[in-house]
Amino acid sequence: MPLIERSSFPGAPRWQFNGHLQTLAPGILRRVKGIDYQRERIETPDGDFLDLDWLLHGNPRLVILTHGLEGSSAGQYIRGTARHFVQNGWDALAWNCRSCSGEMNRRFRMYHHGDTEDIDTVVRHTLETGRYETVVLVGYSMGGNITMKYFGTKGADLAPQIKAGVAFSSPCDIAAGSDALDRWDNYIYKKRFMAFLERKMHLKNQQFPGKLDVSKLKDVRRWHDFDEWFSAPICGYASAAEFHRNASAKNFLAGIRVPTLLVNAVNDPILTPECFPTEIAETHPYFYFELSPGGGHCGFRARGDRESSWSERRALEFCETQIMRI
């Protein structure tokens, strides 16, 4: 069964001796060069827009990349994955969730961990180009959760061109991940996320006066408070509990019908054991789970890494192995 008993992650550099360093150092120190995206803006069925950043090289294989919370196509882990796939004979598409491409989206609703409508719009658009025989999806953190939920909800109705998917550092249990962010040792991550999100709440309030009570921002103490007062209503849910339940990919893994790999690190600061779906992988024919001994959150820089990171190599390896088996 697809429970990977032994991770191939070789270990982080010795000076990155804990999950926090393995999370922060790659994002701060790494600069992926040689990426020249071609941007395309597409319209969504509900009258909004999505910005897509392409690396086009005329290849018949495409990787679609989905970023994490308050990330974008400019993230080093996204750029690095795009470059590694392109160097190995793929085209790459890094799409930006609503409000994440440098411009606020038009509609009241934004994006969230369980939003599969927009990724479906992106997939449909890429397939309508007629350029690709083979498509794989790779997502990091929130993007991994979106990818897995998308596969789980589509099930056997997934487009036949989609052959595999990979998720890294994914909080597939949203409630547990939210609670983890409230821990004192995760203050730096929570503060950073909240700074970006609070700014967006004020911008949304300017766009749609009266639909949000931004005065409550000063009363947010727990991540649950933010989800109850802001995430849930913006995303169309009645409560944080309903939002967490419907957004968590863990609740939809049973429906996956293409090979899908989830890699989470045991020392990821913002994941908990609830985000390690070992039992599901033990009996699922398509869902693979790999618990890495290190890597932090979206880090996965291994000893000796220069150009690519271990996660980028692991994603390509998994996808190409599964394609060869078809």
Average confidence (pLDDT) per 10 residues, the chain, 326 residues: 91 96 94 96 98 97 98 97 98 98 97 97 98 98 98 97 98 97 96 96 96 96 96 95 97 98 98 97 97 98 91 98 90
- DSSP states along 104-159: --SSS----TT--HHHHHHHHHHHHTT--SEEEEEEETHHHHHHHHHHHHHGGGS-
- 3-class SS at 163? strand
- The third-level CATH classification (topology) of the domain covering 3-173+248-325 is Rossmann fold (3.40.50)
Residue 302: how many other CB atoms lie within 10 Å: 21
Q: What angle, 0 to 180 degrees and rounded to 10, lies between the N-to-C axes of helices 142-154 and 117-128? A: 70
Pick the closest to residue 140 from 245, 63, 195, 36 (CA basis). Answer: 63
Instruction: Give the H/E segment covering residue 278.
Output: helix 278-283
Rg (CA), the chain: 19
Q: Which residues pair with 168 in a beta bridge?
A: 140, 263
In tens, the pLDDT along 88-137 reads 999 999 999 999 999 999 999 999 999 999 999 999 999 999 999 999 99
- CA dist., res. 326 & res. 314, Å (int): 19
Residues in the chain: 326
End-to-end CA distance of the chain: 18
According to the model, what pLDDT value does residue 177 have?
96
Environment class of 316 (CB within 10 Å of its CB; exposed 0-12, middle 13-18, buried 19+): buried
Strand 38-43 to strand 260-265: parallel, antiparallel, or no bridges (unpaired)?
A: unpaired
Residue 121 CB partners (closer than 8 Å, separation 6+): 42, 44, 45, 50
pLDDT of 1 reads 59
Segments of the chain assigned to CATH 3.40.50.1820: 3-173+248-325
